[in-house]
Chains A and B, each alone.
Chain A
Amino acid sequence: MTALGLFNYWAVIVLMMVGFYTLIARGNLVKKLIGLNIFQTAVIMMYVSFGKVTGGTAPILVEGEAAEGVLYSNPIPHVLMLTAIVVGVATLALGLSLVVRIKEAYGTIEEDEMRDGGL
């Protein structure tokens, strides 16, 4: 396993940092949510990478003689990520609806333009 062999993990780290940076540095609430989503996607990719077994096939039980020596990928991380995706969607939906309400109440979604909205 060389550094290059861990290519997908490097991608995960880069995505995670991109998301995290956007989340912190941007004042626009929608951009913050986008950052959050990129961050969460990176986590999902990380899990999917965990589940991948080199040379493995989809975890669908093979019947009969062909079953000899078949290598399966681990399905559990994928299943977990289905849940995480649902959670992520729910979070995004709630976040966006909050942004809509904030726009109605403040007339802006830029953090520095809200007079009393900062932390």
Chain B
Amino acid sequence: MSSPGLVIAFTLLLPVFGALLVLVFGSKPNVREAATLLVGALTFWHVRELLHLVQEGARPRLDLFEVVPGVQLAFEVEPLGMVFALVASFLWPVTTLYAIGYMRGHHEENQTRFFFFFAIAIAGALGVAFSANLFTLFLFYEFLTFCTFPLVTHHQTEEAKRSGRIYLGILLGTSVGLQLLAIIWTWQLAGTVDFRVGGILAGTASAGVLGAILVLYVYGVGKAALMPFHRWLPAAMVAPTPVSALLHAVAVVKAGVFTVMKIAVYVFGIDLLGTLATTPWLAWAAATTIILGSLVAFTKDNLKARLAYSTISQLSYIVLGAMLATEMGIIGGGMHIAMHAFGKITLFFAAGAIMVAAHEKKISGMHGLGRTMPVTFGAFFVGSLSIIGLPPAGGSWSKWFLGMGTLEAGQIGLLAVLMVSSLLGLYYLLEVPVKAFFFKPPEGAHHHEGIKEAPLPSLIAICITAAATVGFFFWPDVWYDLMVMVVNQ
């Protein structure tokens, strides 16, 4: 490959190109899906190209043009963005593989539109990951909101319409009402919106004003689902499961927490962040979301809803990591972006597989299903371990560093919150495989007969993500090294 800038351009344009291929081959499902897979693999390959550059210490950059004087549309790849880009671009082809089985097995309509917007959404997520300034980030952030809307409302039912309203209302409301205000305020104070190592806001205004801007940012990034702006995530669960899996466990929500981390590190800077009065308050707001999210997850019998609230809770780990304003917190938060992504997508894949194979959404109806679908529930078990933070799953590393971060910040109370939440997770996640494997199916429940595992492509996808989850316990170096680069640059 020639210049790094060109690689960035390719990486961003490939999904768009893939989307166009999907449109062209809309009438031939096999060609269409093959094209998506191929383009997905190519995209990931390009991201790896960039990964090598970043690991060597380079910062590939692509400046396009000025949008308004002083504000550029520009991309720069740095380690934190790399973490997010790697996760999104790797999981895209995997999810496509899964979606092939799911969408056909579930006889979904409008599959071309589905795959089209799916590819476009990935372009949006990569744009968020690589953005070099707040404007570019905001542009792709909103782009992601709008191009996932048709995916959320895929079924076009009355329920989908209502959920779509909540989805768009909260995401647009927070981003336009709070985040944009904060961005323009930043521009007003600092005279730039570029992401710079060490931040751009230090010394530009009084601590009170900067603290207020921080609050605007953290709540303005609605995709991070900090309570009370979390309602959109459960609402988005009306979407087909691959959407919930990739977008609402990986791309969209991670775009949110990634934005929070990016702002914490490159707009405020860890040093400034630690001095602001609002930072601990926000850390406690995140802690509250962690606990409340877990408690609500407890009460949900619908598996996807339970996973959604678990996601809300887990996202706040990352916000918490950023708001600890310590190196360990940042490392832990960044690693959790990756670890949670792989763990949670496995859980969603499994939930979707159960829905396709057994037409079962409720946990109470899954008694005994484990015997007929051992692979699916096995994968669910592995994913659960990662989310809870138990070895041998990758999640244990990120939780470890987050815990270290709380100690580094001297916040014993927050450490306790992490512990309690893990205990809650232990129950509400492991309940599913336990019931499936060890409980007897209810009397007279002949509906389990004739149920097999999910379609093969879906099953392969589940195994890949589950294997990766375990793999990252033994080899977490990629993520760790990148995050160390973030805090040490």
Q: Do chains A and B touch in the complex (CB under 8 A)?
A: no
Interface residues of A (CB under 8 A from B): none
